[in-house]
A and B are shown apart, each in its own frame.
Chain A
């Protein structure tokens, strides 16, 4: 018991120190972002700002707004469509397992792990040949297709937790494949949709490789624009910091509000891969 009393404060101390490590970059991003241009100085980067100044955020916002908009126009339809597709696939792969379904599912799953460098050259050629190179529709298509493995996996695992009796009951009542989905499974799918939508929203918003290769500068999503900002010699580091915070904000808000579901998506890829 005495040992416990001694150990507890030590555990807290350790946890607090570790928490400081995780929050350090956020602290720097925040205090730098909130300084006035006059106070920004690399040598005083750990000091608190003298007040709440929005100069950095304003300038970063001006530079990044078109790209934040691109990211929204990219992420929302891509996440929505790939969730819808994943739901239908997951339904079939969990409740209507045709001969060979499991083997095919395994082959689909492999697509989740491949390094995209191994398909990049044909992909660029293909997107170019159908006239979608440079803009957002091509990138949306690519995210939907390469999102099929993870969205199918999450929905398949989710529907597997729903009793098969639902399907049997639907059949007895005369409903077919689509009717059972529409009237019985779909209304129960909300948790699955939340997990998949959050997962796809976060990964597509944060994605960089496809975006930098398939879009031209006016259609860059925010990750590419931010990287460009950070590589530029002209843009001050304080504006870069504010920009990083702006680019991270949407997914952070989703995480804070719906973290539980975010965690579930995270585990889905690992535990039942």
Chain B
């Protein structure tokens, strides 16, 4: 009797949260999907059914094609750079050097600040002005005699301008992959590495054949987390370049078409499109880790 009552109380305790998620996540996704199938353009809601017309339009839309290209370039470079740099930093910090804690804090602190702050700082570092108005990193390169590195940064003609946004993004997020990899490396038993050493393996071989294979689950986690951040990237680009069409991504398109142009139907279609893209990445991962957890 008492057990049952307690059980009910437990459910009652979490039901407000479950209800909130049911409405604000799943209900609102359904509502958005409905808007994306409607003719709603303008301030007043219009739920007239138009089927998949908004999606068909979107796929033909030149701007959305630019967005997808930009997202693909950004995501590919961002993931590759974060994983490689994070792994390099983790291996360096794994050498038990003095000052390890200090270095770790330095590599990780950008995670604590907002993309807006990062964007404001980097838009001045990546100032593309030339000639006597040279400034930022270009000026630094010039002063160091490295004129070959002077760049137009994110104002490089499409499609490669977006590639330079990867630089501040990696500056901010690579500490995260470093922390993940370092935890992964430290989780590998010392005995295993010691045994390999006794068998005559050098440090490089140990990393190549013992450490790296064991880090695969870490890489998967990092790809999931960074991948979904990258598919949604918004604030950083807004802070660096405002609404510059050359650096447009779906999140910025959604924002301007909905709240500046009041084309709610197309904005909803972009939102649902982004959700599908993120879900392709997340759902297999969530259902997989859910299953392994129940097994333990």
Interface residues of A (CB under 8 A from B): 8, 11-12, 14-15, 18-19, 21-25, 28-29, 42-43, 45-46, 85, 88-89, 91-93, 96, 98, 102-104, 106-111, 113-123, 125-126, 145-146, 148-149, 152, 176-178, 202, 205-209, 213, 223, 226-227, 230-231, 237, 240-241, 243-245, 247-248, 251-252, 254-256, 259, 262-263, 266-267, 269-273
Q: Please, could you name 6 A-B residue pairs with CB atoms under 8 Å apart, sorted by A?
A: A113-B282, A114-B29, A119-B24, A120-B254, A245-B117, A252-B112
Q: Find the B residue at minimum CB distance from A259.
A: B105
The answer on a CB contact under 8 Å between A178 and B9 is: yes
- A30 to chain B minimum Cβ distance, whole angstroms, is 11
Are A226 and B225 in contact (CB-based, < 8 A)? Answer: no
Q: Mark B4-23, 1 if CB is under 8 A from A, else 0.
A: 00110111011001101100
Q: Is the CB of B112 within 8 A of A14?
A: no
- The answer, yes or no, to whether B160 is at the interface (CB within 8 Å) is no
Contact A115 B171 (CB under 8 A): no
How far, in Å, is A126 (CB) from chain B's closest CB? 8
CA–CA, A113 and B287, complex, Å:
14
Given known A45-B139, A262-B112, contact A117–B274 (CB-CB < 8 A): yes
Contact B121 A176 (CB under 8 A): no
Indicate if the CB atoms of A269 and B113 lie closer than 8 Å: no
Contact assessment for A18 and B117 in the assembled complex, using a CB-CB cutoff below 8 Å: no
Within 8 A of A (CB), among B107-156: 107-125, 127, 129, 132-136, 139-140, 143
Q: Which residues of A contact B242 (CB under 8 A)?
A: 231
Q: A42-B124, A117-B275 are in contact. List 16 more A-B contacts (CB 8 A).
A: A15-B93, A19-B106, A43-B134, A43-B135, A115-B251, A117-B274, A122-B27, A122-B32, A145-B24, A177-B9, A206-B117, A241-B121, A251-B114, A266-B176, A266-B179, A273-B289
Let me know if B238 is at the binding interface, CB within 8 A. Answer: yes
CB under 8 Å from chain A, chain B span 207-264: 221-222, 224-225, 228, 231-232, 234-235, 238-239, 242, 250-251, 254-255, 258-259, 264
Contact (Cβ within 8 A) A272 B289: yes
User: How distant is the Cα of A267 from the Cα of B218 in the complex, in angstroms?
Assistant: 11
Kindly list chain B residues whose C-beta atoms are within 8 Å of the C-beta of A42: 124, 127, 129, 133, 135-136, 139
Q: Is B278 an interface residue (CB 8 A)?
A: yes
Residues in chain B near residue A176, CB distance under 8 A:
2, 6, 9
Chain B contacts for A85, CB-based, 8 A: 17
Point out the residues of chain A lying under 8 angstroms from B259, CB to CB: 213
Interface of B is mostly: helix
Within 77-121 of B, Cβ neighbours of A (below 8 Å) are at: 89, 92-93, 95, 97, 103, 105-121
The answer to whether A230 touches B119 (Cβ under 8 A) is yes
Complex: chain B residue closest to A120, CB-CB = B271
Please report the C-alpha to C-alpha distance between residue A89 and residue B221 in the assembled complex, in whole angstroms: 24
Which residues of the partner chain A approach B183 to less than 8 Å between Cβ atoms?
A: 267, 271
Q: B190 an interface residue at 8 Å Cβ cutoff?
A: no
Kindly state the separation between the CA atoms of A125 and B11 in the bound complex, as whole angstroms.
30
Nearest CB in chain B: distance from A73 CB, A: 17
Binding site for A on B (CB under 8 A): 2, 6-7, 9-11, 13-14, 17-18, 20-21, 24-29, 31-32, 35, 45, 89, 92-93, 95, 97, 103, 105-125, 127, 129, 132-136, 139-140, 143, 171, 175-176, 179-180, 183, 221-222, 224-225, 228, 231-232, 234-235, 238-239, 242, 250-251, 254-255, 258-259, 264, 267-268, 270-272, 274-275, 278, 282-283, 285-287, 289-290, 293-294
Expressed in whole angstroms, the minimum distance between the Cβ of A97 and any Cβ of chain B is 9
Given contacts A119-B28, A231-B242, contact A223 B114 (CB under 8 A): yes
Query: How far in angstroms is the closest Cβ of chain B from A198?
Result: 9
Chain B residues within 8 Å of A205, by CB: 114
By beta carbon, the residue of chain B nearest A119 is B28
Q: Give CA–CA (A117, B278) in the complex, Å.
A: 12
Instruction: Report how far A122 CA is from B286 CA in the complex, Å.
Output: 25
How long is the Cα–Cα vector from A239 to B259 in the complex, in angstroms?
Answer: 29
Question: B291 to chain A: closest CB distance in Å?
Answer: 10
Instruction: For the complex, give the distance between the alpha carbons of A242 and B113 in Å.
Output: 14
Q: How far is the CA of A178 from the CA of B26 in the complex (A)?
A: 29
* Nearest chain B CB to A87 CB, angstrom units: 11
A118, B271: Cβ atoms closer than 8 Å:
yes
Which of the listed residues A23, A116, A237, A247 has the most CB atoms from chain B within 10 Å of its own CB?
Answer: A116
Residues of B within 8 A of A273 (CB): 221, 224-225, 285-286, 289
Known: A117-B271, A118-B272, A230-B119. A152 touches B17 (CB 8 A): yes
